């Protein structure tokens, strides 16, 4: 049985962690740490959780104890740097849902996050937990950097192709869309319903922090061509949709590409290959990533969609916990009798 602390359990992704971990058969206790909500009851912060999870008092993050086996950190960027080194030094395991440990060097972190990294050695020791892509086990791992929401949708859909056909690629362009919960619960004028209802806009063009994260992983897997990544805000609360266009130097048959994806994901519990571009509402509330590939006239178009708070945050983090503790990766996330169905 695993004892867990969630630092930032009172935020959007933290709440999803609480919901999932409450259903997990190997979780014996859960302490929720917060900041402005410290001292409040969980049910008063999230009235909808009444009856779904046990109530508890949210503990101040200033009083994080070392009594738990595993800590999830679900904090604004920069904040995890204050907790993770001490947790690791005290022999604890940590899964960070934020971006503080995803990039591999302090220089790249400082460039994109505008902060000095205070524990650069851990950037080398961590693993980047793209759970459905990693075939190896997590033996000896203490720190998992849980991938960002856009990178999860983008990388799961692109990596099989870019790893196999790296030399045949001219360039790749990803256009991705997110619901407003991707920005967390802190009120922002541009996220008001009166701004977003019936509206779509691109944002952080050529400047989104998830771009170096995606590119780092593509480069590590052999890709070395021009890449662009453009993010948009959608007038929905939840979900990510990513469409990548890959321009090719030569003809590659669609059936060969579909075969490649079937080989990678045919036995996956959480990646579902689709014969048509997936719909966002097929995955909302689930830990699935749905992917479709299409190749024509030397252009491959790959679409994918996930729930940003589940597969893009808490769900993948629990999947990583399961892998870390050598448990069935589906626990807490899927009925273990359920089979993945790839539909072609
Ligand atoms: N939202 C998504 O779709 C998503 C997806 C993937 C990854 N992430 C990442 O997950 C992390 C959390 O995102 P979120 O959307 O859940 O954010 P959020 O809704 O704003 O929640 C932030 C959490 O951090 C706590 N917190 C804030 N400042 C703190 C401080 N100085 N010390 C200790 N705790 C503090 C808050 O506590 P109080 O509520 O008590 O103030 C709250 O529990 C971020 O790094 C984000 O990039 C988010």
Cβ–ligand 1 contact at 75 (below 6 Å): yes
Closest CA to 40 of 63, 64, 57, 62: 57
Atom of ligand 1 nearest to the CA of 35: 40
Per-residue model confidence as pLDDT tens digits over 217-231: 999 999 999 999 999
Q: What is the DSSP string of 17-62?
A: HHHHHHT-TTEEEEEEEESTTTTSBHHHH-GGGBTTB---BPEEGG
CATH superfamily of 2-125: NAD(P)-binding Rossmann-like Domain (3.40.50.720)
- Of 313, 314, 316, 320, the one to substitute when testing ligand 1's pocket (max ligand atoms within 8 A of C-beta) is 313
User: Is the overall model pTM greater than 0.95, yes or no?
Assistant: yes
Per-residue model confidence as pLDDT tens digits over 242-296: 999 999 999 999 999 999 999 999 999 999 999 999 999 999 999 999 999 999 9
* Measured distance CA(113)–CA(116) in Å, rounded: 8
Least confident of 8-12, 29-33, 128-132, 333-337: 333-337
Mean pLDDT, residues 174-200 taken together: 96
Ligand 1 center from residue 33 Cα (angstroms): 11
Structural domain spans, the chain: 2-125, 150-308
Atom of ligand 1 nearest to the CA of 14: 16
Amino acid 135: pLDDT: 86
> Is pLDDT of 343 > 80?
no
- Give strand pairing partners of 34: 60
Amino acid 322: pLDDT: 97
Which CATH number is 150-308's, of 3.40.50.300, 3.30.360.10, 3.40.50.10610, 3.40.50.1820?
A: 3.30.360.10
Cβ–ligand 1 contact at 37 (below 6 Å): yes
> Is pLDDT of 45 > 70?
yes
Atom of ligand 1 nearest to the CA of 185: 19
Structure tokens at 61: 């993050």
Mean pLDDT, residues 17-27 taken together: 97
Q: Is the dihedral of CA 163, 169, 171, 173 positive or negative?
A: negative
Confidence tier at 337 by pLDDT (50, 70, 90) = low
* Measured distance CA(241)–CA(274) in Å, rounded: 14
Residue 210: is it exposed, middle or buried by C-beta count within 10 angstroms (0-12/13-18/19+)?
A: buried
Amino acid 7: pLDDT: 98
Confidence tier at 308 by pLDDT (50, 70, 90) = very high
Fold equal for 2-125 and 150-308: no
- Catalytically annotated residues: 149
Amino acid 340: pLDDT: 52
Cβ–ligand 1 contact at 185 (below 6 Å): yes
Confidence tier at 344 by pLDDT (50, 70, 90) = very low
DSSP single-letter state for residue 135: -
Residue 327: is it exposed, middle or buried by C-beta count within 10 angstroms (0-12/13-18/19+)?
A: middle
Q: Are 176 and 244 in contact (CB under 8 A)?
A: no
Per-residue model confidence as pLDDT tens digits over 136-162: 889 999 999 999 999 999 999 999 999
Q: What is the DSSP string of 172-186?
A: EEEEEEE-GGGG-SS
* Measured distance CA(319)–CA(213) in Å, rounded: 20
Amino acid 162: pLDDT: 98
Ligand 1 center from residue 185 Cα (angstroms): 8
> Is pLDDT of 338 > 90?
no
Ligand 1 center from residue 11 Cα (angstroms): 5
Ligand 1 center from residue 59 Cα (angstroms): 15
Q: Whose CA is nearest to atom 35 of ligand 1?
A: 35
């Amino acid at each position: 049985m695993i004892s867990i602390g969630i630092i930032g359990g009172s935020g959007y992704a933290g709440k999803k962690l609480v919901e999932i971990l409450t259903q997990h058969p190997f979780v014996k206790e859960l302490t929720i740490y917060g900041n402005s909500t410290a001292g409040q009851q969980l049910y008063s912060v999230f009235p909808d959780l009444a009856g779904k999870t046990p109530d508890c008092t949210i503990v101040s993050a200033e009083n994080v104890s070392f009594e738990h086996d595993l800590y999830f950190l679900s904090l604004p960027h920069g904040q995890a740097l204050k907790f993770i080194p001490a947790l690791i030094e005290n022999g604890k395991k940590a899964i960070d849902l934020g971006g503080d440990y995803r990039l591999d060097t302090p220089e790249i972190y400082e460039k994109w996050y505008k902060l000095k990294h205070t524990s650069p050695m851990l950037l080398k020791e961590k693993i980047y937990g793209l759970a459905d892509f990693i075939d190896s086990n997590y033996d000896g791992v203490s720190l998992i950097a849980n991938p960002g929401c856009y990178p999860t949708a983008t990388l799961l859909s692109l990596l099989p192709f870019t790893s196999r056909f790296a030399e045949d690629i001219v360039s790749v362009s990803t256009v991705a869309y997110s619901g407003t919960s991707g920005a967390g619960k802190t009120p922002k004028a541009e996220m008001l319903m009166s701004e977003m209802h019936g509206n779509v806009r691109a944002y952080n063009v050529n400047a989104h922090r998830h771009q170096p994260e995606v590119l780092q992983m593509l480069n590590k897997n052999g890709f070395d061509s021009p890449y662009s990544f453009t993010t948009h805000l959608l007038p929905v609360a939840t979900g990510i949709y990513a469409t990548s266009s890959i321009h090719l130097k030569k003809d590659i048959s669609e059936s060969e590409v579909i075969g490649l994806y079937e080989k990678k994901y045919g036995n996956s519990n959480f990646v579902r290959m689709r014969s048509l571009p997936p719909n966002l509402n097929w995955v909302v509330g689930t830990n699935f990533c749905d992917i479709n590939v299409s190749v024509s006239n030397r252009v491959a178009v790959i679409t994918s969609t996930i729930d940003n708070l589940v597969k893009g945050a808490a769900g993948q983090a629990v999947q990583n916990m399961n892998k870390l503790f050598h448990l069935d990766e589906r626990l807490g996330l899927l009925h273990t009798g359920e089979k993945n169905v790839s539909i072609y």
